[in-house]
Amino acid sequence: MQEIVDRLTADDRGAEIARTLIFPYLNHAATMLESGYATSADIDAGMRFGCGYPVGPIALTEALGAQTVIDGLTALHATTGDPLHVPAPILSDLAGAAAAEDVTPQLRHDVTSIGVVGTGTMASGIVQVFAQAGYDVTYVGRSQDKLDGVIAYITKNLDRAVAKGKLDEDGKASVLDRLTGSTEREALGGVDVVVEAIAEDLEIKRELFRDLDRIAKPGAILATTTSSLSIADLAAQTGRPGDVVGIHFFNPAPVMKLVEIVSADTTSPEVAETAKALSLNVGKHPVSCGDRAGFIVNALLFPYLNDAIRLHENGGGSLEEIDTAIKENAKLPMGPFELLDVVGNDVSLAIQQTLVGAFGHDGWAPAPTLEKLVADGQLGRKTKAGFHTY
């Protein structure tokens, strides 16, 4: 931590670039805390486990000293005039911000069996996570080929674990024995929790939740892994809105520790607590937040990435300079342009547009360079060209 503080407060160009991007991110996190949207512990854990950051934004602000951040933001605001750079009032008394009581969540519903809808990478990973934790899992796909793909994905991962000595052949067989595939949604009628991981399309998900409401037994929890869509909207498609919750896994699900538990106003507290306890039971680190665009991680990550593009556009540094400054001074695992290319510039643009639509901050409007790259089909690593060339 002290090394990061020393690097961010250094008097050199790299530190200046890093501060220009990191201070608004810290301000945004403080605003999120101030609004009561999430606790400081969950905000910090979200960025540590969701992005691999060495320290969360609230803890980093405290380590730097809130006045240092306030002074930096004030100077930045004088240059940009962006209202988002006005220091959040809570920064003046960050130490006094209320922290949530550390209470271990409990399963308020009996959960022995899980259903998963979907056969893509995310869905396959979720199936593996629950099966490895000892749950019987029924997964549903459109065709036998799709179902076979789930088994192939999981088998490959388990074989890798066996090769590394983390699992034996009996353990592998036990995991695979817990899996049941079906091309019929009716197979989910007896499970305790259904997790959908299908296309990020609101109409498709609405239709699914209407069908799950018909199929799932009374008291079953209906969960969505959406990263951007409204939990309340999906809940409204059912006659059991209290049983609908967001359980947002990060990709790849078997590897990433973070799960965002997203509650709509209609979500039962017992359902949210059960979802959190279930996440702990499968070895994840759950964080709680409300039903709004971006949740914790995307709402903090993508404005920072967009700011990096604008900094480059305004002559604040080359792509390499900015990437290097962030890695060397903030000790983040990847520079912003490297990360954009990994995520996919099309995905990044869509998320940024969603955030602007939800919050209306002009300062979050997608950077022109991002829009142009997407229009030109330069989406990042998946097309071999984006901000960098591969």
Give the model's pLDDT for residue 50. Answer: 96
Q: Whole domain around residue 273: which residue ranges?
A: 113-290
Tens of pLDDT, residue by residue over 48-76, are 999 999 999 999 999 999 999 999 999 99
Give the model's pLDDT for residue 107. Answer: 93
Give me the active site residues, please: 227, 248, 260, 298
* Dihedral pair phi/psi, residue 163, rounded to 5°: -65, -30
Q: Is 341 a domain residue?
A: no
Tens of pLDDT, residue by residue over 298-330, are 999 999 999 999 999 999 999 999 999 999 999
Query: In angstroms, rounded to a whole number, what is the distance separating the alpha carbons of residues 34 and 186?
Result: 44
Give the model's pLDDT for residue 352. Answer: 94
Give the model's pLDDT for residue 95. Answer: 66
Q: Which residues of the chain have pLDDT under 50?
A: none
* Number of independent structural domains in the chain: 1
Q: Is 221 a domain residue?
A: yes
Tens of pLDDT, residue by residue over 128-138, are 999 999 999 99
Q: Is 260 a domain residue?
A: yes
pTM (2 d.p.): 0.93
Give the model's pLDDT for residue 96. Answer: 62
Q: Is 130 a domain residue?
A: yes
Give the model's pLDDT for residue 9. Answer: 96
Give the model's pLDDT for residue 316. Answer: 96
Q: Is 358 a domain residue?
A: no
Report residue 130 as tokens. Answer: 């629950």
Give the model's pLDDT for residue 196. Answer: 98
Q: Is 183 a domain residue?
A: yes
What is the CATH number for 143?
3.40.50.720
Q: Is 327 a domain residue?
A: no
Give the model's pLDDT for residue 282. Answer: 97
Q: Is 89 a domain residue?
A: no
* Dihedral pair phi/psi, residue 98, rounded to 5°: -70, 135
Measured from the Cβ of residue 41, the count of other Cβ atoms closer than 10 Å reads 16
CB 45 within 8 A of CB 287: yes
